[in-house]
Amino acid sequence: MSDDLVITVAPCGAETTRQHNPAVPFTPGEIAAEARRSFEAGARMVHVHARWDDGTPTQDAGRFRETVAAIRAEAPELIVQVSTGGAIGMTAEERLGSLAAEPEMATLTCGTVNFGQGVFENPAPLMLEFARAQLAAGVRPELEIFDFGHLDNAAWLAAKAPLPQPLHYDLVLGVPGGAAGTPRNVVSLADRLPAGSTWSATGIGRSHLPVIATALACGGHVRLGFEDQVELEPGVLAPSNASLVERAVRLAELMGRRVATPARARKILGLGPVPSQAIASTGGRPDS
């Protein structure tokens, strides 16, 4: 019924702290180790945020290069998607620093949304600027949808900028201030995507399981990780990002979904082969 499954792991995000879960990775080495374990468990893409050693979020170009190089050295077949969302309050210029890491994909949020006590600002000119920057860098965007109107904004953006078709979306549901993480919202949003699009969904906090189970049932892909949820079940912290990936793989298999091979995941997302930078970062080891 549906295509093979692409699991994206989001190992740290910008807002999750070690008070939320002591296992959140910060340094390039810690993020790369989590990415590798997640890849081994079945993740095929990593959504990268960078942190300074003390956990402060940063979109600094050098820190992003370092973080992405460490990931590629550990798991060269993992698709690298950087965040251009960064953290609340960062400027557009700061947020675009992550493109310096030469990722294959990057996020592109399709509108402003309340985000807890803050506001995640993505006005139309910023969306257009980010689309043009990604096109110029040869990076494939993942259109982030936090609320229903964001789908209309995405259509507006696609009419203004020659985004690579078919478009790829991520439904980020359950952010306090955005659309709730409910099965009904997953279905309604997925139904409204342009024909031929690819999409994944992620549920924040305890909306995680209902959202990914619905996405799996509808033929979508899924995202998970400490950026989005820190518990395996209420009151039980996930010991690692890989533990969340392992559980999603079990659920997918129960539901008749097969995890895509690394090569198949690239094809599904319209990407080319493993980039030369990733092969170079292993010293040319083909099997690492």
Interface residues with Zn ion (CB under 5 A) are 83
The verdict on 109 binding ligand KMH (CB under 6 A) reads: yes
The verdict on 107 binding ligand KMH (CB under 6 A) reads: yes
Q: Which stretch binds ligand KMH (CB under 6 A): 78-86, 206-214, 230-238, 264-272?
A: 78-86
**Nearest distance from C-beta of residue 171 to ligand KMH, angstroms:** 13
By beta-carbon proximity to ligand KMH, the closer residue of 123 and 256 is: 123
List, in sequence order, the alpha helices (H) in the chain: 28-41, 61-74, 92-95, 124-137, 149-160, 183-191, 208-218, 241-254, 262-268, 276-281
By beta-carbon proximity to ligand KMH, the closer residue of 87 and 211 is: 87
Q: Which stretch binds ligand KMH (CB under 6 A): 33-41, 80-88, 192-200, 213-221?
A: 80-88
The three state secondary structure string of 12-43 is: CCCCCCCCCCCCCCCCHHHHHHHHHHHHHHCE
One residue of 11, 85, 97, 141 binding ligand KMH per CB under 6 A: 85
Q: Which stretch binds ligand KMH (CB under 6 A): 11-19, 29-37, 205-213, 265-273?
A: 11-19
**Of 186, 234, 176, 243, which is closest to residue 210 (Cα–Cα)?**
186
Residue 276, exposed/middle/buried by CB under 10 A (0-12, 13-18, 19+)? exposed
* Binding string, residues 115-154; x marks residues near ligand KMH by CB under 6 A: x----x-----------------------x----------
Instruction: Give the orientation angle of helix 61-74 with respect to helix 28-41, to 10 degrees.
Output: 40
